A and B are shown apart, each in its own frame.
Chain A
Amino acid sequence: MEKNTEEPLKTAGGLYRVELFFSKRRMILIPAAFILFLAVPLMGFNQYILRIFTVIGIYIILSLALNLVAGYTGQLSMGNAAFYAIGAYTATLLLLRGGVNYWLTIPLAAVLAGFCGLLLGLPTFRLRGSYLTIVTLGFGEIVRMILMNWDSVTNGTLGIRNIPAPDFFGITLSLRNGGFYYLVLFLVVLVSAASWFIVNSKIGRAFVSIREDEIAAQMMGIRTTKYKALAFVLSAFFSGLAGAFYAPMVGYIDSNSFTFEVSSQIISMAILGGLGTMRGMFFGAAVLIVFPEVSRFLMDYRFVIYGVILVLMMRFRPQGLLGWQPRVPVRFSKTVRSDLMREGILPEGE
């Protein structure tokens, strides 16, 4: 695929300047933002609003997870709700039946979800594009059916109730005391950092090369099947992490919490924000969680508008609201950069 590096620069010039403005002040802004987020529970918000913040956190993790496979590797998964479900059920069952400590259930649940991600990643050896998407969709439905019908393990349609909230040095986490908020904040930071390191490593570059041109990537000696499977594993791992957090937060899980609609909501978030960017995941999750909450008065029209937004987005801004790509794909040396600046391709000042 031919990528014109000039055009996005010009169209996103204004936004790029905004980004540049912030990036120059990042040493102040990042700590400031972090402190602000740390202070949220102390700002006197009620439980309902703390819950919204916490749910946004969960969906940020889910979107970041989807982003690895769909955004960077270019393999659209429509079954990510299944990994979320596997994480939630594994953590819950380990906690209630296995008597495992809550803090251990989170990594264990993520590992099992990651393993299931490997299972789903295996057909990628043979399938491409739309066919792979279909398999992920089918996988999501099958997992949901299993959760619904495997009564002896998942308690079937009744779901699992009374999942206890975890203790942290003697304090029981709750929405009210902000415990869940801090935990999800920690997880969001953790997943963001992990995701950042993955994307900016050799693995990330392999992912992007598969997205851009799978055959060319293979020609360059990248073992595409291995990296595609790896993308699924990582995506599933992080989704499972979100699930393991979700279960004790609501205290109740059943198969209806993990439907196709959840998968398609995660996709919508990632797309709204901008697939292949990390900032987009934060933005998309926040907007699409807040939108239904503030638009309850619209009743049935809410989802009509939701659909209209998706359609308009794809028509006018398919790269997502924050999905501008001002930077040239590689980091140039100083001389090249100054050349580019002189040509006006790269804005001054970096």
Chain B
Amino acid sequence: MADFVQQILNGFALGLAYALVAVGYSLVFGILRLINFSHGSVYAFGAHAAFFMVGLHFGPVPAIIAAMLITGVLGVVIDRTALAPLRKKKSVSIAALVTTLGISSIIQNMLVVIFGSQRKPFPDFFNFGTLELGGVRLGSRQLVMVTVSLALLLLLLMVVNKTKVGLAMRATAQNQKAAALMGINVNNIITLTFLMGGASAAIAGGMVGGYYQIVYPSMGFMIGLKAFAASVLGGIGSLPGALVGGLLVGVIESLAALFFGSNYRDATAFIILIAVLIFRPAGLFGKKEVVKV
């Protein structure tokens, strides 16, 4: 029983990491209807940026903040150099998708060139001890992860729902043409979305790096796919959906590993995803899109 509770706790922490990454997919998909395949690599980039800053003897908090800024800028650069021109040309959606695949390859392999492909030790910042209750351990790393993730998600939710910028984002998501007519600079809003996506990926990278104390260039691949599955599961485009999707994937995956062994662990996310999509094509919290002729 203790094992069971323990794995739920572990899965919860893992799930929040997925949620942090999933948010990035959701933000971009909500506005552009684009699966941003470069996001997993952006996350790895964020982790490496934090790793690099730590190497320059920044403390953990300044390092992660610096990483957020750098990675956010990377998000903006991706959008401005590669994706915005495609929008301007009104390219087909597959072009943008393939572009993000290409960017993913560029980022990941540049990380290999600069940092090497090996796993590098990330300092154990968030370890202030462990709480033990009836055979169930709650580490301070998990607590930090939970607190930071929830705080970030709340902040994002506030921005999207309570601010003027958020209103513009929602308007752009609903109808870009109408939003532009209302005087919203759609391109700036999209760029802002990439900035937010990049920054949240950097936080996720820093947190997960600190949680497992390793970073490496290919770290974004699996977590990217799973987080993406999580965001679709929750209803892509919806921030609470990303949170719920991430937690579901994290917890179910940990429990599946406990009961069925680690073998099918990476497939769990996709199995849940397909099952949910067949019955609820728009995900758990997504709104069904009506196609108008």
Instruction: State if A and B touch, Cβ cutoff 8 Å.
Output: yes
Task: Let me know if B105 and A133 touch, CB within 8 A.
Answer: no
Contact B278–A318 (Cβ < 8 Å): no
Q: Is B142 an interface residue (CB 8 A)?
A: no
State in angstroms the CA–CA spacing of A260 and B105 once bound together.
13
Bound Cα distance A299, B85 (Å): 30
Contact A123-B109, Cβ < 8 Å, known A134-B273, A142-B270, A307-B102: no
Beta-carbon contact of A141 and B270 below 8 Å: yes
A137 pairs with B225, CB closer than 8 A:
yes
B185 within 8 A of partner (CB)? no
- A300 with B109: CB separation less than 8 A: yes
CB nearest neighbor in A for B268: A145
Chain B residue with Cβ nearest A149:
B263
Q: Which of A60-117 contact B (CB under 8 A)?
A: 70, 76
Contact string against B for A residues 109-145, beta-carbon threshold 8 Å, 1 for contact and 0 otherwise: 0000000000000010011111101110111011001
Q: Size range of the interface on A?
A: 35 or more
A142: which B residues are within 8 A, CB to CB?
A: 267, 270-271, 274
**Do B270 and A308 have beta carbons less than 8 Å apart?**
no
Partner-contacting stretch, out of A40-48, A188-196, A243-251, A267-275: A267-275
> Does residue B35 face the partner (Cβ distance < 8 Å to A)?
yes
A247 and B89 CA atoms in complex are apart in Å by 43
A101 to chain B, nearest CB (A): 34
> With the chains together, A297 CA to B282 CA distance in Å?
46
Closest Cβ neighbor of B292 among chain A residues? A215
Instruction: Name A138's contact: one of B34, B91, B270, B282 (CB within 8 Å).
Output: B270
Contacts of A137 in B (CB 8 A): 225, 270
A303–B221 CA distance with the chains assembled, in angstroms: 15
Name the A residues within 8 Å of B92 (CB-CB).
318
B5 is an interface residue with CB less than 8 A from chain A: no
Measured CB to CB, the nearest residue on chain A to B293 is A215
* Chain B 279-293: CB-based contact to A (< 8 A → 1; otherwise 0): 001100000000101
C-alpha gap A134/B277 in the complex (Å): 10
Chain A residues, CB < 8 A from B263: 145, 148-149
Contact B267 A314 (CB under 8 A): no
Q: Do A304 and B110 contact each other (CB < 8 Å), given the known contacts A141-B267, A311-B82?
A: yes
Question: For residue A71, which residue of chain B has the nearest CB?
Answer: B94
CB of B29 closer than 8 Å to a CB of A? yes
13 contacts between A and B (CB under 8 A): A76-B94, A123-B278, A137-B225, A138-B270, A138-B271, A141-B225, A145-B266, A271-B98, A275-B94, A300-B109, A303-B108, A307-B107, A308-B106
